[in-house]
Each structure stands twice: as structure tokens, then as C-alpha cells.
Amino acid sequence: MSLRDYIHQLEAQGRLMRITQAVSKQNEIAAILKACEPHPVLFEKVAESRFPVAGNLFCTKESIARYFAIQKREVIPLLARAIDERSPYQVVEEAACQEVVELAPDLEALPILGHFPGDGGNYITSGVTLARHPVYGQNADFHRCMQFSRDEMAMRVVASRHFDRFLDELGEVEVAVCVGNAPSVLLAAATSVELGVDELEIANALEPLKVTPARTVDLLVPADCEFVLEGTVSSARRHAEGPFVDLTETQDVVRQEPVFTLKAITHRQDALWQALLPGGLEHKLLMGAPREPTIFREVSRVARCLDVNITPGGCSWLHVIVQIDKRSEEDGRNAILAAIKGHRSCKHVFVVDADIDIYNPEEVEWAFATRFQGDRSLHIQARERGSSLDPSAEPDTCLTTKIGFDLTRPLHAPKTQFSKVSYPPIDAQRLQELGLAPQEPAT
């Protein structure tokens, strides 16, 4: 299913908010998206561009589950299978994303959003960046791009990421930044996999994917995406990038980043721009959810893992709750170590039993209050590299302290000592008789 097919589905289900009045790409669209979270929004008229904009499309894990017609608890197994059982995609010669080919590209024509008044410029945040290496093949990843001229952008490239290695070894790399992708492509591009894995094969394992050769660079791009920005990124040319409000909803620092120079823009005739609100629920979900299968896989090697939740309160990046079926007293500690291995940016890990709902913060806090003792349930890994997104980590090195909290109950203790007691049931009819429930209206 393409992005537009999904939007049509949302509208048919009555879950899409349409805004018909003209709105500005400078801060206004971002403000409306935040005010409307988690509801999907389509902006039909943008004051500065002829292209409409859609956002808030995947703000919850339920929305991903609904897209793939599965239960929420099945999302992690689905992504894990797609990573392990990736499959070749179909290459086609004609594609909707190339209905219009502009060889004299002008970024000013696009609804590239200004999100916050203090931003360094207007940003592409939803673009999937495709690049190729002669040895490792094609790679897909997210790299925010800040516009600073009509055909140039500063691309944020995080050190040690695969694309950073491409640039380091090659100096200049051809890229295609694809905007308006199917959800399967977005999720696949956000996964963390080994160097040499083509993430578009993960997308194809989630649902069939067609790709097509780009027009001016040697890359294969999703045939049904809305826009493709083609060009080169040079490690030798640098430009100030930022400030930018990132996942933590704090303002990132200004850095000198590689320059992305455009050669061409291709798009659908009636193309639709996809917005991704920085620090918003959708940003958090697309960052965090694809890391959950890698944590699940690592924890499953040392304990019986039931579910994983990278929490919105932890910026969907720094906090992880792991649910296990505890079989030995070492399972909690082993699950903590495995979770950190599965997601190196993780800062705090909470391990709970099967009876705790990991999507309910109050239940997790209850386990913290009743099952945790700091002198025997706390695991500390001091001073190792964490996330560049963590403003409290050491500048430049990103060194941080990682902590694990074993919130599981002791196996040797009576189960009743650590389990909630169920209240006696009472049926709705009896409550009505007592005047404690509203009467059903007469028909």
C-alpha cells in the first residue's frame, strides 16, 4: 500500500482531519500538527507551495498494527521476521514517483517546513536517504536535511552510522532522499541492522515493494513514493546545520555537516508532501519502534522475552521496558544487559514480569514500588557511549551512565506477596439496581 492509499483508507474510516483553509509552512503547520496529535491531518492548501501536506500518520503503535491488520503485540514479531527473512524487491522501469522530472531543481517550490522559530532553517524530516557503496551495496536511513539555498541542504550525518562510513571511505556519495513513503519503507529505514543489509529488502518482507532506477544517480528508489530528491553529498563541503529540535524536544547544537547538492527532483503529478513533526509522537514512534525487535531478539537469547516497549516518556529512545517470563533469578539482570546490547543508545532499562502491562506507566511504577530493592536489583554500567540525542550525556564523546532496574518478583517468595488481589466482581445489572450505573435508554 502506498502512502496515499493509506491516507485514503484513513479518510474512509473517518480518522483523517482535513484542513481546507490555506496554512503556512513556516511554523503554522507544525503548530497545528502538535495541537492535533495523535490524529492524522491533511493540509489541502499550503500558502507557499502548490503541494498539499499530510502528517501525524503514525503516532501510535496501534496505528502501525492497524495498517498491517494485526494486534499491537504482533508488531515486534512482524518486524523481527522481516529483518530475518528479508526478500528481493521487484524492479520496474516506469514509476509514479517519476511522472514529473525536474532537472533544474528548486527547493523553494516544495513545502519544506519550518517547525520552530529558533530553527536554523526549513527541514526535511521524513525523507528516507538512499545511498550506495561499491562493496556494501545500497543503504536506507533517515538523515534530516536543512535547506540553505535553492538547491543545497546541510545533511545531519551521525558519526559511526553506515552512511558516515560511506562518506568517510568515498568522500562523495550519490544519494536519493525520498519523501512520502509507504509505512513499510519508513519502518525498514529506521531499523538498525548490519552493514551490507539492504533495508528495502526488509520493507519488501513487510509488504511487496516495487523500486525503479533513479534518473540522475545510480540508486533504486521506491516506485510509489511521492518525491525523490537526487544529488550528491560531499564530506569535503560543510555548512552549519541547526539549531534543530530533536527527539528529546530539546534544541540540538549547531554543527558543520556535509552538503547535499541537488541534481534533480522527481515526483508524482499530484504529489503529496509528508511532514514528520520533530519531537512529536510520530517522530518518536518511527525512531523507537524499529529498535524494539533488535532488543527483543537479544533478550530472547538469555531469557523468555514476551514484549518490549521503548517509551514515549523516555523520548522513544532512551528508556526501554522489557517484559519477561522469569524462569531463574538471573533472568532480570541478563535481560538488562541484553537490552543494552540490542539498543546501544538506551540509557535506562526496566525489566518486569508477565503480569505487568508495559504500556501502562502506573503498572510499571507499581512494580518499581513493590518489587525493586536498590541494593540487589540495580545494575549500573558507568561511562560508556550512549546517545548523541541525550542532552545530559558528556558533550563530544556522548559518554553516559546506563542503569538497569530489575522490577521482577523473587521466584522463591510466595506469589501472593507480590501480586495484586482481584476485587470481587459485581455485574452491571446489580449496579443499576443500586442506582450506581446509568440506566439504558428506552427503545
Strands of 71-164, DSSP E: 90-91, 100-102, 123-124, 128-133, 137-142, 145-147, 152-155
By DSSP bridging, strand 145-147 and strand 152-155 are antiparallel
Cβ atoms 142, 185 nearer than 8 A? no
Active site residue 224: no
Region at 279 (left for phi over 0; alpha for psi -120 to 50; beta for the rest): left
| Catalytic residue from among 119, 141, 198, 246 | 246
- What is the sign, positive or negative, of the torsion defined by CA atoms of 151, 152, 158, 161? positive
Nine cell digits for residue 195 = 552493514
Nine cell digits for residue 272 = 503529496
Displacement of CA 428 from its chain's centroid (Å): 42
Sequence letter at residue 170:
L
The CA distance from 299 to 339, in Å, is 6
Residue 270 pairs in a beta bridge with none
Please give the helix or strand (H or E) that residue 384 lies within, else none.
strand 378-385
Give the residue numbers annotated as catalytic, written as ranges: 246
